[in-house]
Structure 1
Amino acid sequence: MKPHLTLPIAIATALALAACSAAEPPAPAEPPVATETPATPMPADPMPATPANPSVGGAAMDAGKDIVTNASAAPNLSTLVAAVKAADLVATLQGAGPFTVFAPTDDAFAKLPAGTVDGLLKPEMKADLAGLLTYHVVAGNVDAAALTQQIEVGGGSATLTTVQGAILTAMSDGAGGITLTDGKGGTAKVTTADVRQSNGVVHVIDSVLMPK
């Protein structure tokens, strides 16, 4: 036995094992675990904006109130309100409707011949007054867009049958507005359109409409 060879052999064996260990590639790292990011909810579609109700005579008009209540708040519709009361039409125009009312202003009534309004407000003229007022009312909810469409479909004019039973003719005024022609050929211009009410819509006009 040659003991002096044992140590070099052991050292060589250790070095060989270390070299083999160094040559081995490191074990691959475990891939990261994917985590799902919760989806961000899409925002709901915004509600369409409701157009503001136009004022009448400087007074705010509440779309949740009826035609008579709103008209009573408008300082430039006082003659119309007095006429509605004298004709006993308050309950009708506070009903469910819907109604489309072409509402003459106080200045519109002032265009009539002197004494006309006072005469119509007399008790014995109640039936005539009711006929005049209902000539300004159309059944249904006819806003400006619907009326404009009817005018276009009608080739430039639309006929409206009033609650009184006679006809009004509506036409475009060429500037985006609407003009009404009554049974006597008189005209009235819509000065404030689409005043929303709980039971219909009101269009303010600048002249009183007269049936035949």
Structure 2
Amino acid sequence: MTLILNRRSALTLGAASVGTLALTGCATTASGAGDIVDVASGAGNFNTLVAAVQAAGLVETLKGPGPFTVFAPTDDAFAALPAGTVDSLLLPENRDQLTSILTYHVAPGLYPASAIVGRRGSIPTVQGQNLHVDGRNGVTVEGIPVITPDVEASNGVIHVISGVLLP
């Protein structure tokens, strides 16, 4: 059976909707933690991501009420892109492309790792396309490993990933 994670934060098993398991309560946001932008800024290994979020004008959105699930590439993940890619994306004339890439990393709703482990399926993104997730052998998104799951923020959850997702 294929797992489909939809915008209502529910799991639907199979095309015939054999059963539904609501994710409400599976993950909670940390009331004492900062929002997604604050947590990422304070972590020390998301400097490139934070700069890109600022350049794309997405800070206020990611500081909003959410909830959001962010698949957050580390600085090392951005550094692994071809030389000049990040600098080019940060140029004002490439803001639309940067926004598309960044919003591809963000899902509306909470998708904790516990909802993915042992399953595979897709999660909708703010950008409009779906991310394919697989939790059958570790957790991956579009084939990229989640290296630190479930970093809590007041308005969602961050999953640290070792690569940059490209739509």
Q: How many residue pairs get matched?
A: 139
Over 3 Å counting, the alpha-carbon distance change for 1:188 and 1:89 in structure 2 is: same
Q: Is the 8 A contact 1:62 1:70 kept in 2?
A: no
Match of 1:38 in 2: none
Q: Is the 8 A contact 1:137 1:162 kept in 2?
A: yes
CA distance in 1, matches of 2:71, 2:32: 16
- Deviation string 1:85-108 (CA, Å, 9 cap, x unpaired) is 000000000000000000000000
Over 3 Å counting, the alpha-carbon distance change for 1:79 and 1:159 in structure 2 is: same
1:179 to 140, 145, 149: 140
Instruction: State TM-score, norm by structure 1.
Output: 0.63
Over 3 Å counting, the alpha-carbon distance change for 1:69 and 1:62 in structure 2 is: farther
Q: Is the 8 A contact 2:36 2:153 kept in 1?
A: yes
The structure whose Rg is larger is: 1
2:106 to 129, 137, 143: 137
More contact order relative to length (CA 8 Å, sep ≥ 6): 2
Match of 1:165 in 2: 128
Q: After the TM superposition, list the runs of 4 or more consecutive aligned residues in structure 1 that deviate by more than 6 angstroms.
A: none
User: Which of the two has greater helix per residue?
Assistant: 1
Identity %: 54
Is the partner of 1:76 in helix, strand or coil?
Answer: coil
Q: CA deviation at 1:161?
A: 1.1
CA distance in 2, matches of 1:118, 1:130: 14
Q: CA deviation at 1:64?
A: 2.4
Q: Is the 8 A contact 2:116 2:135 kept in 1?
A: no
Q: CA deviation at 1:173?
A: 5.2
The runs of 5 or more residues in structure 1 that have no matched partner are 1-52, 54-60, 152-156, 182-186
Q: Which amino acid aligns with 2:163?
A: S
Q: Is the 8 A contact 2:117 2:136 kept in 1?
A: no
Match of 1:41 in 2: none
1:118 to 87, 106, 111: 87
CA RMSD of aligned residues (A): 1.7
Instruction: State TM-score, norm by structure 2.
Output: 0.79
User: Which of the two has greater strand per residue?
Assistant: 2
1:189 to 127, 145, 154: 145
Q: Is the 8 A contact 1:171 1:178 kept in 2?
A: yes
Q: CA deviation at 1:147?
A: 2.3
The runs of 5 or more residues in structure 2 that have no matched partner are 1-28
